[in-house]
Amino acid sequence: MDELIKATARDLVARLARGDVTPGDLLDALERRIDAVDGAVNAVVTRAFDQARAEARHWMPTTDRRRQPGRLHGLPVAIKDLTATAGIRTTYGSPVFADHVPEVSDAVVAQLQNRGGIVYAKTNTPEFGAGAQTFNEVFGTTRNPWHTDYTPGGSSGGSAVALATGCAWLAQGSDLGGSLRIPAAFTGVVGLRPTPGRVPRGPSTAAFSTLDVDGPMARNVADLGLMLDAMAGLYPGDPLSREAVPGAFEAAATSPMRPRRVAVSVDLGIVPVAAAVRDAFARAVDRLAAEGVEIVALDADFSAAESSFKALRAGLMATIHEELLTRHRARLKPDLVWNIEHGLGLTAAVLGRGERDRAAMTHGLLRTLADVDLVLTPTVLTPPFPHVIRSLDEIEGHRFETYVSWLALTFAITLTGTPALSLPAGMMPVTPQGADAPVSLPFGLQVIGRPADEAGLLARAAWMESVFTPRHLVPIDPR
pTM of the model: 0.96
CA distance 376 to 220: 18
pLDDT at 69: 58
CA distance 31 to 126: 24
Please report, for residues 113, 168, 201, 240, the alpha-carbon distance to residue 106 in angstroms, rounded to integers and kept in the order given: 11, 20, 7, 15
CA distance 84 to 416: 27
Q: Are 384 and 134 in contact (CB under 8 A)?
A: no
- Catalytic-residue membership of 80: yes
CA distance 216 to 159: 10
CA distance 458 to 443: 19
Q: Provide the strand spans (E) within 176-248.
A: 190-193, 213-218
Report the sign of the C-alpha dihedral through residues 130, 131, 134, 135, in that order. Answer: negative
Instruction: Say which CATH class 261-467 falls into.
Output: alpha beta
Average pLDDT along the chain, 479 residues, taken 10 residues at a time: 96 94 97 98 98 89 52 96 98 97 97 96 96 95 97 98 98 98 98 98 93 98 98 94 95 98 98 97 98 98 97 95 92 87 95 98 98 98 95 90 92 98 96 88 98 98 93 90
The catalytically annotated residue of 80, 122, 310, 333 is 80
The catalytically annotated residue of 179, 265, 405, 422 is 179
- Catalytic-residue membership of 179: yes
pLDDT at 65: 43
Strands 190-193, 118-123: pairing is unpaired
pLDDT at 66: 42
The catalytically annotated residue of 94, 155, 209, 265 is 155
Query: What is the full DSSP assignment across 228-272?
Result: HHHH-S--TT-TT-----TTHHHHHHTS----SEEEE-SSTTTS-
- Catalytic-residue membership of 310: no
Return residue ranges of the chain for CATH 3.90.1300.10. Answer: 3-253, 261-467
The CATH number of domain 3-253 is 3.90.1300.10: yes
